[in-house]
Amino acid sequence: MKGWRVVKVTLACVLAAANVFMLGFLYSVFRPLEYIPEDAIRQMRELLRKDGILIPQGVVDGRKIDLPIYEGTMTQDYYTVTASKLSRSGVSLTFDAPNGMVVSMANGARCAFYDGFGIRYTAANAPEHHVLSTLDETALSPLSPADMETAREVIDLFLDGVSTPNAAFPYTMVTCAEDTESGIRYCVCEQEMGGRSLMDFRTVFAVQDSRVIGMSGSWCFASIGASYSAQLLDQINILYSVRNRILEERAGTADDRVEIVSQELGYAVYFRGDTENFYLIPAWNVRTDTGENYCINAVDGTLYTK
């Protein structure tokens, strides 16, 4: 009996050792497929450090990420249809504006569209002092989680049915605060695609008396159609692109060192010439401790915005 116990313990130890070996083997095989080699990250950090660009531990996680490219359509009647759905009213008057259109509604609401998906909406009978462009966030009082959820429900109802079913991007409420004097709640929201942020698609919604009285920012109501797979540049190549840009900006100057504080993969909008088509392209948003943001196309490494 004692001998059988010894055999069982020995077999258990052998099995455990085999499992450990197999886990180690699988880790060594599959990690290079999912992560950038640590030596490559170390060499990159050292090279950038010599150029005065610091990258703290943890900023580059080394993961290899694949995201699709999405194609969308912004139809010729996009502005008037969107304005009608937001205001729940018919169009009274339209006139072209630089890079966009202003739409006045029969019920007194007004929509100004600019630069593609830029929008400024003012509801009918909105307070005259309500001006989102001059909003002083420091004068506002933060809302409780329960009040934020109530405000979100109002925004959801306002947005319901405006987008086509395949264009209703989810969004995150970043913050929400109230002007206690007027009772207006200002909620900052950001749209997403596939769990990734749409870069620069941030909008302030003004909520009062259970209705949205205004919105200002960038918001996409257009339809999304086909998607395409594409090979993306990894984080190292993106940071080399940022390095080259920083060195170009420093040419002839003696700027102090700069630190990369974050690197986030999301989507940037790219319009194809004068057509109705646009693309959501994977892009890296790289931030520095000097307040600079570099939006880099993750497909070809070109700089979108700074």
- 35-69+227-305: CATH topology is Lipocalin (2.40.128)
Handedness of CA 90, 96, 102, 106 (dihedral sign): negative
Only one residue has tokens 């940022």, namely 242
pLDDT of 11 higher than 80: no
The predicted-structure confidence for 140-167, as pLDDT tens digits, reads as follows 788 888 999 999 999 999 998 887 655 5
Q: Which residue has the higher pLDDT, 116 or 273?
A: 116
Confidence of residue 76 (pLDDT cuts 50, 70, 90): confident
Confidence of residue 227 (pLDDT cuts 50, 70, 90): confident
Q: What is the pLDDT of residue 28?
A: 44
Q: Which of 1-15, 123-137, 152-166, 214-228 has the lowest mean pLDDT?
A: 1-15
Domain range list for the chain: 35-69+227-305, 75-221
Q: Side-chain half-sphere of 111: how many Cα atoms within 13 Å?
A: 29
Nearest to 294 by CA among 232, 230, 243: 243
3-state secondary structure string across 92-114: EEEEEECCEEEEEECCCCEEEEE
Residues in contact with 275: Cβ distance below 8 Å, sequence separation at least 6, in sequence order: none
Helix%, strand%, coil% for the chain, nearest 5 = 30, 35, 30
The span from the CA of 170 to the CA of 225, in Å, is 16
Other Cβ atoms within 10 Å of 259 Cβ, number: 14
Only one residue has tokens 């339209």, namely 94
SS3 260: strand
pTM score, whole prediction: 0.79
103 close to 80: Cβ distance less than 8 angstroms: yes
pLDDT above 70 as % of the chain: 80
